[in-house]
Amino acid sequence: MKKKKLDTLGISAFCESMAMMLQSGIQTQEAVSLLHGESEKSHGILEAGLAVMQKALEEGNSLSFAMEASGIFPSYALKMVEMGESSGRLEDVLFRLSRYYREQKAMGEKLKGAVTYPAAMLILIIVVLALMLTMVLPAFTQVYNRLTGSMASSAYRYIGWAYGFCWAALIVMVVLALSLILGLLLWNSKKRPLVEGVLYKLPVCREILEKLGTYRFTMALSVFLASGEVQDIAVAKSLTMIDCKPVEEKVKRCMKHLEEGHGIAQAAYQEELFEPVYGRMLLAGERSGNLESVLERLSDLLEEHTVNLADRLVEVIDPLLSGILLVTVGISLLSVMLPLLGIMSSIG
């Protein structure tokens, strides 16, 4: 059975705690022992993993080996910690990993919210339309039958319009809801490229996916370079973190420039991996010897840009779905009210 991994927030907390203790002079084995002691009251994933790590460290193994033995950390964190140990910059790498996974958590929550709210609105619209079809419209039909004995042809036509409009809207909303559920299921499976292919046809979604992939690459590259890795290898390893085909293709073209002796900043600028203003920032950072700090700043800007795009998408979808709900209910009620107005005028 595959062992469950620690969540991003747990990884961030672990890396930050380890980094602070190592910075204060506490040895790795003692730091893990202290963390294990603090978590003994809980019986979750971290507590079991720390027990395995403590035993591995007592046997003289490295922190990266102990983390791998625990089975609760992702491969990216293991590679980075191993890199930090080999370069002598373990504390710095742990701090960067903590920030990386904390920001990944925040980004995930933002994108989850961007999907959850439209899904909730779709469910609300489906419920309202179902109530209209099963309760409201039949109630009006019974009232008309009692008033007139049988529905006149004009009244029947209006009621028919109301039923037809509600059924059409309900079918569309159900199809959208099922498409959203199917898309989420496929996104978390091996069929993810299929969903990406559909989303790339929508300009707003395409921009969000590309910005998210660029952000992941930039953040990973900054951590790899900070751990002492050379640019060629750092770019190659960061490529695995992207999860976005168009961005991956750009990075692969950048790698060809690196093979020709160019720096990552020049390669990224030529291949338009970043927007022109960001590309010039990267060029200036590389020429001034501040590439790592500029990459960190770029990752912050890209994260902010991605979040803003997701929020903007929600701001568009919210009034759109609300408008669909209001228009559908309004037209349906107007359709069933018109015969009533006709009856009242004839009585008057």
Which sequence spans correspond to the domains of the chain?
Answer: 8-73, 103-348
Span 247-288, pLDDT tens digits: 889 999 999 998 888 888 899 888 888 888 888 888 888 888
Q: For residues 241 and 248, what is the distance between their CA atoms, to the nearest angstrom?
A: 9
**Distances 213 to 206, 216, 315, 318 between C-alpha atoms, Å:** 11, 5, 22, 25
Distances (CA, A) of 81 to 19, 97, 226, 239: 11, 9, 12, 18
Average of per-residue pLDDT values in the chain = 79
CATH class (in words) of the domain with range 103-348:
mainly alpha
Q: How confident is the model at residue 147 (pLDDT cuts 50, 70, 90)?
A: low
- Residue in this structure with the two tokens 């996104």, named with its chain if needed: 187
pTM for the model stands at 0.65
- Coil, helix or strand at residue 257: helix
Sign of CA dihedral 122, 126, 127, 129: positive
pLDDT for the residue numbered 344: 57
Q: How confident is the model at residue 219 (pLDDT cuts 50, 70, 90)?
A: confident
pLDDT in tens, 287-307: 888 888 888 888 888 878 877
